[in-house]
Copies of this chain bind each other. A is one copy, B any other.
């Protein structure tokens, strides 16, 4: 009576083990390990007191308390959507038209991650193609793999996507008759995970115009999916406008934002602004997923925003990350061999270091094994590159996070890694 094979779906079979699952496993097995790999947020500055006060306010009155503990609408709390639209309009200024940035087009999600999932589900069939920055956010690559969607990598420059390369790829896809498979371009446009690169607004507008140019040949819209997860974690420089402010953004830009990283990752609330028909499809799918993000968390964020506590906390958080980024930068200068290149961070959670030719960083490399033996962990750069049958993935980079570890551990982690590097470089 034993069944011969698995009953899993194609999706269930394809879903890969998370790229970093064994990194986390390695971390658990070594209690003294300093992880510069995890994308955790700073533990000491989590808004414990603020959250306690906000929740006490919400739960003090039976009326607001019950509203927070009852089901809400699948799309999300109307007050939070209104506050989110205001928030986005403040970030983008008058360039983002109020007709585009409206509460009606906002969907509240379980972090921006869920928005990425819903948008991808709504757009992509197996065999489809999503254009991505190379390197890009590796969890998104996993998600595409599980859906049988191919990621096509576009070169990344210090100010964002290489538009000439994007055009070259679109032309090649057109020639191959594959443009109809291209559904979206995915950009992590602020302090990118993993490189820290911020895309100039002009490049977003340029990318959007390029996509539009190829739509006729594609036979359908090609969306720009802007993942702005790190946008508010800015501690130097001026802010770039989002793609929502670009010409023609109204019906082509899907914007994913989050309150998790700026406020509290344990109270995960994200949001998306979507054009039709993607909005309606994503809303229906959200209904099937969970009919709406937990109301209690939405009310918490709405009150954090309306009371000003969100922005107070964010200001302090950015100062803290600025300090941690400075600590990591100083440690890198002190301990890393001069052949290794990186750029100082002006936001986000990451440094991206390039090693000299011939020194590999992958999980099987001497460097990685020596680092692990010396109780320090990083994310190998190759994990962040799209699969490409025509060439090997770059294997000489590493992502270093200053988010989770405290200052002492940042210094010590970089010292350990530097010592290993000095032997190998």
Interface residues of A (CB under 8 A from B): 1-13, 15-18, 40-41, 43-44, 46-49, 51-52, 55-56, 59-60, 62, 65-72, 74, 110-111, 113-114, 117, 121-125, 128, 139, 142-143, 146, 183-184, 212-213, 215-216, 218-223, 264-268, 277-278, 281-282, 284-285, 287-291, 293-297, 299
Contacts and interface: CB of A to CB of B under 8 A. Distances in A.
A52 to B, nearest CB: 4
Given A5-B219, A15-B288, A48 B62 contact: yes
Contacts of A123: 7-9, 12
A109 B128 CA distance: 29
Given A65-B52, A69-B267, A219 B288 contact: no
27 contacts: A1-B212, A1-B215, A3-B215, A5-B220, A6-B220, A7-B123, A7-B183, A7-B218, A8-B277, A8-B278, A11-B125, A12-B123, A17-B284, A43-B70, A46-B65, A46-B70, A48-B65, A52-B56, A52-B59, A68-B266, A70-B265, A110-B293, A113-B288, A113-B291, A142-B287, A264-B296, A267-B295
Given A41-B70, A284-B18, A8 B290 contact: no
A114 B70 CA distance: 18
A220 B15 CA distance: 19
A285 B15 contact: yes
A109 to B, nearest CB: 8
Contacts of A122: 8-9, 11-12, 15
A36 to B, nearest CB: 16
Contacts of A60: 52
B297 A294 contact: yes
Contact of A296 (B56, B121, B267): B267
A19 to B, nearest CB: 10
B59 A46 contact: no
B9 A40 contact: no
A266 B222 CA distance: 36
Given A6-B220, A9-B121, A121-B12, A71 B40 contact: yes
A290 B184 CA distance: 21
B59 A48 contact: yes
Interface core residue of A4, A15, A55 (most chain B CB under 10 Å): A15
A288 B70 contact: no
Contact of A216 (B3, B67, B223): B3
A422 to B, nearest CB: 33
A125 B14 CA distance: 12
Contacts of A143: 288
A294 B290 CA distance: 13
A51 B184 CA distance: 42
